[in-house]
């Protein structure tokens, strides 16, 4: 079944990065002239439609921030577990991000956006109890969903244990972590693991980590949204790798 990708950043990233997947580009006929010029300059063939037809054919809704564009595309193939080794090939100091129980598509999209900006090699999530890479996730990712490999694994604990054997250091995020994240060493081949906002990391996943790290906070609020916390950890890792 085809997917509908909405929003300018997500749509243009798909058109540029995966043109073979594009079936049709639909736009609102009321778009600003500059938007039509942008598409024409990019050599994009598109169909301009009135609002009612655009919403119906674009498989989107009035309350969705579609920004007047919808790309009908063949579904993206989920990367299997075996693709991870290929993704890591030739990368000197890979940075991986693993998600444990992140089920909100918008959180997934925001995390992918931060991961792309921080230079993450790949994002890993278990096939069960994980957010779908759907329209909401892609829109929130602002094109990053087309740039950052998302690998689905059967057993996250087992995958982390294998990565440890392959030389990765695995840092799990937890509010009660014993190590200050800003003092931890996040360089070298690294996996940062984040869990759901409610329960955090599952016990088996925690056991597969080499260390637990916590973001220091001084205010009355003792926790952050998972996508915000993930961004903080990823950019701390980036800062250390650049210094």
* Predicted local distance difference test score (pLDDT) of residue 177: 67
Instruction: Give the residue ranges of the chain where pLDDT is below 50.
Output: none
Taking a C-beta distance cutoff of 8 angstroms, is the pair 195, 201 a contact? yes
Please determine whether the domains at 3-73 and 83-242 fall in the same fold group of CATH. Answer: no
E-only strand ranges, the chain: 3-6, 22-28, 47-49, 69-73, 95-100, 122-126, 150-153, 169-173, 179-180, 190-195, 211-214
> For residues 29 and 48, what is the distance between their CA atoms, to the nearest angstrom?
5
From the list 232, 200, 196, the residue with the least C-alpha distance to 102 is: 196
State the pLDDT at residue 216.
Answer: 92
Give the class (CATH, top level) of 3-73: alpha beta
Cα separation, 129 vs 145, whole angstroms? 19
Report pLDDT digits (tens) over 89-118. Answer: 989 999 999 999 999 999 999 999 999 999
Q: Which CATH architecture has domain 83-242?
A: 3-Layer(aba) Sandwich (3.40)
Closest CA to 180 of 207, 222, 217, 231: 217
For residue 36, the Cα-to-chain-centroid distance in whole angstroms is 29
pLDDT at 62: 67
- pLDDT at position 20, please? 87
Domain boundaries, the chain: 3-73, 83-242
How much is the pLDDT for 223?
A: 82
Which two structure tokens, joined as six digits, stand for 218? 């001084």
Which residue bears the tokens 């869990």? 195
pLDDT at position 63 is 64
């Amino acid at each position: 079944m085809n997917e509908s990708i909405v929003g300018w950043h997500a749509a243009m990233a798909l058109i540029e990065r995966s043109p073979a997947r594009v079936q049709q580009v639909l736009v609102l006929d009321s778009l600003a002239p500059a938007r039509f010029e942008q598409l024409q300059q990019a050599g994009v063939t598109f169909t301009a439609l009135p609002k009612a037809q655009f919403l119906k054919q674009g498989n989107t809704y009035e309350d969705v921030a579609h920004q007047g564009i919808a790309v009908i595309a063949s579904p993206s193939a989920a990367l299997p577990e075996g693709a991870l080794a290929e993704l890591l090939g030739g990368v000197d100091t890979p940075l991986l991000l693993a998600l444990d129980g992140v089920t909100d598509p918008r959180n997934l999209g925001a995390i992918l956006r931060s991961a792309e900006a921080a230079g993450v090699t790949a994002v890993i999530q278990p096939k069960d109890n994980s957010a779908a890479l759907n329209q909401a996730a892609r829109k929130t990712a602002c094109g990053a969903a087309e740039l950052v490999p998302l690998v689905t694994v059967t057993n996250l604990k087992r995958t982390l244990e294998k990565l440890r054997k392959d030389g990765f250091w695995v840092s799990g995020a937890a509010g009660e972590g014993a190590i200050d994240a800003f003092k931890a060493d996040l360089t070298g081949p690294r996996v940062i693991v984040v869990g759901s906002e409610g329960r955090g990391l599952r016990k088996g996943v925690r056991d597969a980590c080499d260390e637990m790290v916590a973001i220091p906070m001084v205010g009355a609020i003792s926790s952050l949204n998972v996508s915000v916390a993930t961004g903080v950890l990823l950019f701390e890792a980036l800062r250390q790798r650049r210094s």
